[in-house]
Amino acid sequence: MIDVIVAGGGPTGLMLAAELRLAGVRTVVLEKLEEPSGLSRARGLHVRSVEVMDQRGLLDRFLAHGERFQAGGFFSAIIKPWPDGVDTAHPYGLAIEQTVTERLLTERAVELGAEIRRGSELAGLAQDEDGVDVELADATRLRSRFLVGCDGGRSTVRKLLGVGFPGEPTKVETLLGDVELSAEPAELAAVIGEIRKTHVRFGAVPLGGGVYRIIVPADGPVADRAAAPTFEEFTARLREFAGTDFGAHSPRWISRVGDATRQAERYRVGRVLLAGDAAHIHPPTAGQGLNLGVQDAFNLGWKLAAEVNGWAPAGLLDSYHDERHAEGALVLASTLAQGVLLGTDPAARALREFVSQLMDFDVVNRYVTEQITAVGVRYDLGEGHDLLGRRMRDVVLKEGRLYELMRGGRGLLLDRTGRLSVEGWADRVDHVVDAGGEPDVPAVLLRPDGHVVWVGAEQADLLGPLSRWFGAAAG
């Protein structure tokens, strides 16, 4: 029997497969496309995703193919300087095509032993107490202990489960396209600068080689949103807005995105779970979608592996829903608010200017930046030290950087006292004794995803958190 079937071979599914294989879980990824689509809707990793890649030893691969950038407070396309004091050792985002991200994560998952089956479309499922039966479109049948739906906003897994997907429907639609332009850059910049005084959802981003990512408002939502817009429709909207199509030609791809915000009511039903766009959809404002999915996978991977490997304490797997559903809801609320600020009516423009003025205060700019980049995520683990529930920033230790010590996907006790022990949990938790200056606490216990679950100094106080997050002590 397969341990885990992952439906969907996008960034979320691939990240999850790599995390599961890191813990020795037999994982099969089912991807309905025969070959990668070549589409790059997402074009960047935010700070927390950069940290995630560093925690797993992948950052150098991504840096080799991406370009660092700093844009503080990019809330609703309001650009401010990068704020002071952001709690990270990686104060930058990484501009990188989604196609490259998928390729690098595919390489990682395969290196670790994941099996990726392309041209395999999930069509049916049934679960019992012991596992999940999966039927493919070609009538092939598979059985696994768990199934995770990472199969996008129109998720087959979610629909077959009957999980509700409430939220707001698409009211505003935008066309996106990567095309070549023959217009001179100066002409392009002048026209776009004038249009964006009143229409912030219009723009052009140079991708190199004369290719631009064009964003232009559509003529209202269409009935069949699965149907791709034509190049003629795309250039017609350009001429309507700009008075010119800028000599657009040789389209790489053209697509449409809506501003719908929906979230699955449950992220887990028995042995079936949801992650990424299968669990939540929202507008691409501030570029949070791919990042939110990768971070879902980072939260879920070690917990599901613990369940498969037999050491998960009661409630550990359910904590995936508790933590990530709450975080997803915050992102959906954020994108709804940003949508209001992107409006063209006088009230929306006035509100946008007011918010922009607020973001001139560094404390506001930093708050917004940490929210968008997920640096500010704090899971609700109850009352306690301010670090509790937060992820630890990377710090330099005598034995190397903290993130370098977390690449095996295990828990970690960072101990400045030299008096503590993880005896009984040494097969799941590493113990690092370091008397350095950071963090300024006696000791912290970290989960495999880097979030702090205990801060203290006494062995007796440590035993409860070890059991709560890492199961019973070994005999």
Residue type at 225 in one-letter notation = R
Task: State the CATH number of the domain containing residue 238.
Answer: 3.30.70.2450
Residue 415 is assigned to a structural domain of this protein: yes
323 and 466 belong to one structural domain: no
Residue 388 is assigned to a structural domain of this protein: no
179 and 163 belong to one structural domain: no
78 and 31 belong to one structural domain: yes
Predicted pLDDT at 321: 98
Residue 326 is assigned to a structural domain of this protein: yes
Q: Are 168 and 262 in contact (CB under 8 A)?
A: yes
Number of domains in the chain: 3
Residue 337 is assigned to a structural domain of this protein: yes
Residue type at 25 in one-letter notation = V
239 and 303 belong to one structural domain: no
Residue 427 is assigned to a structural domain of this protein: yes
Other residues' Cβ atoms within 10 Å of the Cβ of residue 343: 17
Predicted pLDDT at 241: 86
Predicted pLDDT at 438: 81
Backbone angles phi, psi at 336, to 5 degrees: -65, -45
Predicted pLDDT at 208: 83
CA–CA separation, 309 vs 3, rounded Å? Answer: 10
Q: 441-458 in b/e burial notation, b at 16+ Cβ within 10 A?
A: eebbbbbbbbbbbbbbee
User: Is the model's pTM score more than 0.75?
Assistant: yes
Please state the three-class secondary structure of the chain as a single string: CEEEEEECCCHHHHHHHHHHHHCCCCEEEEECCCCCCCCCCCCEECHHHHHHHHHCCCHHHHHCCCEEECCEEEECCEEECCCCCCCCCCCCEEECCHHHHHHHHHHHHHHCCCEEEECCCEEEEEECCCCEEEEECCCCEEEEEEEEECCCCCCHHHHHHCCCCCEECCCCEEEEEEEECCCCHHHHHHHHHHHCCCCCCCEEEEEECCEEEEEEECCCCCCCCCCCCCHHHHHHHHHHHHCCCCCCEEEEEEEEEECCEEECCCCEECCEEECHHHCEECCCHHHCHHHHHHHHHHHHHHHHHHHHHCCCCCCCCHHHHHHHHHHHHHHHHHHHHHHHHCCCCHHHHHHHHHHHHHCCCHHHHHHHHHHHCCCCCECCCCCCCCCCCEECCCCEECCEECHHHHCCCCEEEEECCCCCCCCCCCCCEEEEECCCCCCCCCEEEECCCCEEEEEECCHHHHHHHHHHHHCCCCC
340 and 411 belong to one structural domain: no
Q: Show which of 337, 372, 407 is a domain's final residue.
A: 372
Residue 188 is assigned to a structural domain of this protein: yes
Task: State the CATH number of the domain containing residue 453.
Answer: 3.40.30.120
Task: State the CATH number of the domain containing residue 104.
Answer: 3.50.50.60
153 and 181 belong to one structural domain: no
Predicted pLDDT at 457: 96
Nearest to 238 by CA among 292, 295, 156, 183: 183
Residue 378 is assigned to a structural domain of this protein: no
Domain that holds residue 179: 173-258
Q: Angle at the Cα of 203 (from 374 to 47), degrees rounded to 5?
A: 15
Residue 190 is assigned to a structural domain of this protein: yes
439 and 333 belong to one structural domain: no
311 and 453 belong to one structural domain: no
Pair of tokens at residue 456: 């203290």
239 and 333 belong to one structural domain: no
17 and 154 belong to one structural domain: yes
184 and 250 belong to one structural domain: yes
Residue numbers of the chain with a pLDDT score lower than 70: 73, 225
pLDDT over 70 percentage in the chain: 99
Q: Show which of 258, 292, 325 is a domain's final residue.
A: 258
Pair of tokens at residue 401: 């950087």
268 and 368 belong to one structural domain: yes
